[in-house]
Structure 1
């Protein structure tokens, strides 16, 4: 006896009297082969992948500004120099040796208040090692929420500096005076503006961005309150020049009326720094050892950069109320040589324009 079998769908339909209807063909996927691709389709797909990959190597024709919320594409003019294609922005770096968040906030707010495009200005503050940079960041952001700031510890810079080496030990020994050089050689390798932390900025920092340094590493203002000849004899300088290692010092005669460099505001292009710059500063610091520690370093810096810098406009020299940068005349922390802090009283009123009493109280705790 044969087992029961399921009748095909067509046979069941005929049994119901639908003999005129033709049975439908059933495709069995596990038995019949897959449909064949069009001839040459695989080659076409490979060619498309190669073409799209090759497009990635073509030069850019458009760019977008990260500040543009509309994300509009801007065509690149090939007739311009490559440096002109870069997004113009101002990156300000400051090194504070005696931590006071009030001075950093006043510097930030005065700079942004004077800028025509504050969203294009960013700040990096290097604070003394041992502090909580994350806490410092949030405190400044709490009073200036729209500021673009970064707070980092000087400890990281010290580790990169390698104070075990003669050059590293020299730089760290005079870190307050040589902080712009430390930043340029160890921390930031991109063009930036260094501003002394105890400053109030009244000018537009974006005016500094388009200044062309050419082959120079820095652009600095000059302090002509005293001249080179007021610190050292030209005969002594000539004698030092004759005995100095080759290539380490300026070889032409020095001018006794040369002004000293002012390091309160600097435009820095680290890529143009000479490899022997630190050695040159260290050499001059030992050769012109003056009674005043700070004067020795300032003089050494001036001699190391002699005739090798671009002069910054005089309005960026802290001198009087008519310049683009002023001294912070508010209260601030002052550190003694043993590292202890005490409050320095500020008698001015300019700082109050950029730091409210409430913010001052928040940042002073």
Structure 2
């Protein structure tokens, strides 16, 4: 056979010699010939499908430490939602601002405040406007408002969370604690004679209840429906000495206007030893006014409640309120510090006035009705927007 018969078909080279190539060496390195062309490598599988060898390295394995770190981060972020709230925003607030949450609003036993002046008030009928006016007027008249803290005891059965949020929404910079009177009732144990007596006259005896059951620190008690015009620090600086309370006097009626001195002295002689004042009473003695008090609980006599109970039973007046006021006056007779007359609540130029705005009034049947205000002094301390937020 001649070479011309196989024109164009190159003869295979011996296995020991590589075939020449007209392709440049660098191109040959980029495109190696197939194994079948070289006469090497695996044969084609049945069916004629060509197997392409994998020329890409497998994906690197991820570091297990990063997996653990990511899982830990997710768990930490998920656990943050179980932390207690630090801020709140009341929907009825005028500014819808986030307010730092005061974690002391639910005291377990004795309230703890950052302020150095503790002010307490007891409200018999739920009305947040009066509490807001009391708070703002006291802060406005104070020389150091950041040192004042307020504790309000609201009627039992009412939640103390929503009132707290509402007051803080209109007075965000105030230090306020709101507590249900049910906590006081539970501590009093009304099943006992002493606890039942205190709870029966809780509105009149609220300063005594607070001092004996709730706070052991020196504090100021102010009636809820009040407007404070004077500097509350003036009261704080008063030296009580060995007295347990400092109170203003109500001289609109005297001791002799309520009870005969002969009857009073006869009861005094038959009283158990240590419960009553031993010297003769003066018929011109004024009754105590419990609207504003400075209270030093550590100086309270141990038998104070027993003394008030004795006089309340011994003095039988038509008005239970007058009877309990008379009993308190006789129990504290000549054993209190008389406060200046400017701290006697009135509607004139004194340091504390009667709240003169609209307020809620509770009747004996637990019915709630609104009374219109008779003045405008309260409007200086409560705007219309704040009033609307507290009334809803």
User: TM-score under structure 2 normalisation?
Assistant: 0.70
Q: Alignment partner for residue 167 of structure 1, among 174, 194, 198?
A: 194
Give SS of 1:184's match. helix
Contact 1:277 1:304 in 2 (8 A): yes
Flag structure 1 segments of 5+ consecutive residues without an equivalent: 1-86
Find out whether 1:314 has 2:314 as its counterpart: no
In structure 1, what is the Cα distance between the partners aligned to 2:115 and 2:248? 22
Give SS of 1:206's match. helix
Q: Alignment partner for residue 351 of structure 1, among 378, 387, 391?
A: 378
1:195-233 deviation digits (Å, cap 9, x = unpaired): 000000000001111211111100000000000000000
Counterpart of 1:204? 231
1:37-116 alignment to 2 at 5 Å?
A: 89-116=116-143
User: TM-score under structure 1 normalisation?
Assistant: 0.75
Stretch deviating more after TM superposition (165-174 or 315-324): 315-324
Counterpart of 1:293? 320
Contact 2:115 2:149 in 1 (8 A): no
Q: Alignment partner for residue 253 of structure 1, among 280, 289, 292?
A: 280
Counterpart of 1:335? 362
Q: Alignment partner for residue 302 of structure 2, among 275, 281, 287?
A: 275
In structure 2, what is the Cα distance between the partners aligned to 1:348 and 1:319? 13
Shift of 1:88: 8.5
Give SS of 2:390's match. helix
In structure 1, what is the Cα distance between the partners aligned to 2:218 and 2:192? 26
Q: CA RMSD in A?
A: 1.0
Give SS of 2:203's match. helix
In structure 2, what is the Cα distance between the partners aligned to 1:270 and 1:296? 24
Shift of 1:319: 2.2
Shift of 1:362: 1.1
Q: Alignment partner for residue 163 of structure 2, among 124, 136, 142?
A: 136
Contact 1:88 1:209 in 2 (8 A): no
Find out whether 1:263 has 2:290 as its counterpart: yes
Q: How many residues align?
A: 279
In structure 1, what is the Cα distance between the partners aligned to 2:284 and 2:203? 27
> Higher Cα Rg: structure 1 or 2?
2
Q: Alignment partner for residue 222 of structure 2, among 185, 195, 202?
A: 195
Counterpart of 1:361? 388
Shift of 1:321: 1.9
Contact 2:142 2:231 in 1 (8 A): yes
Shift of 1:116: 1.1
Stretches (4+) displaced over 6 A:
none
Flag structure 2 segments of 5+ consecutive residues without an equivalent: 1-113
